[in-house]
């Protein structure tokens, strides 16, 4: 197997949670390669996430939107980008129930803009990694695991836009031979994640003396991957996956939301009085019970999960305790049981 080494990478959404961790790895692992981040710095991204690489000689930041066709085309052509890692997206399911048009605009149209600009560059583009989600498969009903060839049956507007974007990505591979690689990943957690997702939200609620707000009965289950393992997975895909492949990024740490709450309470030393710190609230319009995916293809490429959930959770809690104001006052709305959408 020949390892691919990029010369110049464009990372969309690189100031967000997952993107910024991948960018940090890329900048340090490939000092002779240029890493360009394109991000519009919306509510869940921050330059703080990129602090460790801002002064690196091979790093560049561009403030802008993936929906700007002229800007995207200019970056690809003038910087001689040969690799695109597309993380930019609206991702929070709760928000998609209230403002689904924003998800269509970013996740579908934004992806189409990138694909068209990449197509215009011809053979200059060697890799286009499209970051999707396990939610495109829909809800797991039994013990069977979703394979990369499984039928896509998304159940919420967010997942539907990601599935739609995938169809465009596949079409550009088949029609124009664009060297695309699609990833479909489990839930991710870790330091500097915006507190709208369950783990940083629960941690932030406890830090502010609030109850943990659990949707429905708390029986929904999620497989959880620590951010370092996920960053490793994307470097593995970049270097070893072949164009045209779809690869699941999955772990083996599956817990119910109730179990996650219990583990976080235990980390804070509050598990003996759990009932005082939990509030059950109305569930989402629809809440998939679980997502069960097979990640054997990724393992064959050389990746394996390294971080145990309890250890990863401790690292995450420690980060927020040491950085209580990392996201400033803007997190207050996100800590509500059902946040009002302020910006999309």
The CATH number linked to 207 is 3.90.25.10
> How many folded domains does the chain comprise?
2
pLDDT of residue 144: 81
Q: Helix 111-120 vs helix 69-78: angle between axes, to the nearest 10 degrees?
A: 40
pLDDT surpassing 70 at residue 174: yes
Residues 115, 264: one domain?
Answer: no
Task: Of 132, 196, 191, give the one whose Cα is nearest residue 164.
Answer: 132
Residues 170, 270: one domain?
Answer: no
Dist CA 281 CA 324 (whole Å): 25
Q: How does pLDDT run across 297-314, given as a tens digit for each residue? A: 999 999 999 999 999 999
DSSP 125-136: --EEEEEEEGGG
Q: Is residue 299 part of a domain?
A: no
pLDDT of residue 333: 83
Q: How does pLDDT run across 25-64, given as a tens digit for each residue? A: 999 999 999 999 999 999 899 999 999 999 999 999 999 9
Q: How far is CA 148 from the centre of its chain?
A: 18
| pLDDT bucket at 1, cuts 50 / 70 / 90 | low
Q: Is residue 296 part of a domain?
A: no
Residues 40, 157: one domain?
Answer: yes
Q: Is residue 42 part of a domain?
A: yes
Q: Is residue 297 part of a domain?
A: no
pLDDT surpassing 90 at residue 337: no
**Which CATH number characterizes residue 67's domain?**
3.40.50.720
Residues 202, 147: one domain?
Answer: no
Residues 101, 118: one domain?
Answer: yes
Residues 199, 167: one domain?
Answer: no
Dist CA 91 CA 75 (whole Å): 25
| Cβ count within 10 A of residue 123 | 8
pTM of the predicted model as reported, rounded to 2 decimal places: 0.95
Dist CA 14 CA 36 (whole Å): 9
Q: Is residue 344 part of a domain?
A: no
- For the residues 201-206, what does the mean pLDDT come to? 96
CB 165 within 8 A of CB 154: no
Percent over 70 (pLDDT), the chain = 94
Cross-strand bridge partners of residue 189: 226
Residues 6+ positions from 171 with CB-CB distance below 8 Å:
none
Domain of 215 in residue numbering reads as: 189-222+254-290+307-335
pLDDT surpassing 90 at residue 330: no
Residues 311, 331: one domain?
Answer: yes
Residues 181, 194: one domain?
Answer: no
State residue 340 phi and psi, 5-degree precision. -80, 130
Give me the torsion for CA of 206, 211, 217, 220, rounded to 10°.
Answer: -20
Q: Is residue 136 part of a domain?
A: yes
Residues 208, 326: one domain?
Answer: yes
- Where in the sequence numbering do the catalytic residues fall? 134-135, 158
pLDDT surpassing 70 at residue 286: no
The dihedral of CA 304, 7, 27, 195: what is its sign?
A: negative
pLDDT of residue 94: 62
pLDDT surpassing 90 at residue 84: yes
pLDDT of residue 96: 53
Residues 195, 264: one domain?
Answer: yes
- For the residues 233-240, what does the mean pLDDT come to? 97
Query: Quick one: tokens of 291?
Result: 């997502």
Residues 33, 117: one domain?
Answer: yes
Strand ranges for the chain from DSSP E: 8-12, 34-39, 59-63, 83-86, 127-133, 180-185, 187-189, 212-215, 221-226, 246-249, 254-256, 278-281
Q: Is residue 3 part of a domain?
A: no
Q: Is residue 342 part of a domain?
A: no
Q: How does pLDDT run across 86-104, given as a tens digit for each residue? A: 999 987 666 655 678 888 9
Residues 18, 105: one domain?
Answer: yes
């Amino acid at each position: 197997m020949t390892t691919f080494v990029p010369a110049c990478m464009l990372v969309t959404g690189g100031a967000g949670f997952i993107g910024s961790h991948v960018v940090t790895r890329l900048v340090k692992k490939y000092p002779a390669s240029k890493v360009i981040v394109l991000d519009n710095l919306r509510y869940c991204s921050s330059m703080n996430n990129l602090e460790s690489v801002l002064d690196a000689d091979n790093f560049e930041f561009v403030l802008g939107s993936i929906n700007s066709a002229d800007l995207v085309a200019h970056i690809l052509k003038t910087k001689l980008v040969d690799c695109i890692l597309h993380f930019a997206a609206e991702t929070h399911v709760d928000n998609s129930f209230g403002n689904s048009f924003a998800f269509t605009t970013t996740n579908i149209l934004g992806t189409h803009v990138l694909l068209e600009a990449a197509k215009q560059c011809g053979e200059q583009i060697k890799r286009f990694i499209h970051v999707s989600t396990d939610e495109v498969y829909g809800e797991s009903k039994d013990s069977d695991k979703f394979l990369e060839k499984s039928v896509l049956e998304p159940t919420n507007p967010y997942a539907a836009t990601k599935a739609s974007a995938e169809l465009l990505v596949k079409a550009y591979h088949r029609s124009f031979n664009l060297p695309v690689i699609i990833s479909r990943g489990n839930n991710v957690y870790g330091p500097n994640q915006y507190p709208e997702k369950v783990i940083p939200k629960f941690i932030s609620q406890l830090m502010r003396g609030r109850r943990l707000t659990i949707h429905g009965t708390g029986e929904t289950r999620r497989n959880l991957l620590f951010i370092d393992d996920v960053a490793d997975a994307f470097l593995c895909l970049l270097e070893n996956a072949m164009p045209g492949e779809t690869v699941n990024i999955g772990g083996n740490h599956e817990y119910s939301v109730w179990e996650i709450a219990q583990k976080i309470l235990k980390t804070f030393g509050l598990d003996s009085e759990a009932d005082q710190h939990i509030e059950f609230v109305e569930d989402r319009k629809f809440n998939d019970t679980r997502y069960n995916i097979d990640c054997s293809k990724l393992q064959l490429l050389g990746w394996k999960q390294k971080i145990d959930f309890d250890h990863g959770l401790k690292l995450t809690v420690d980060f927020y305790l040491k950085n209580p104001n990392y996201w400033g006052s803007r997190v207050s709305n996100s800590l509500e049981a059902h946040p009002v959408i302020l910006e999309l």
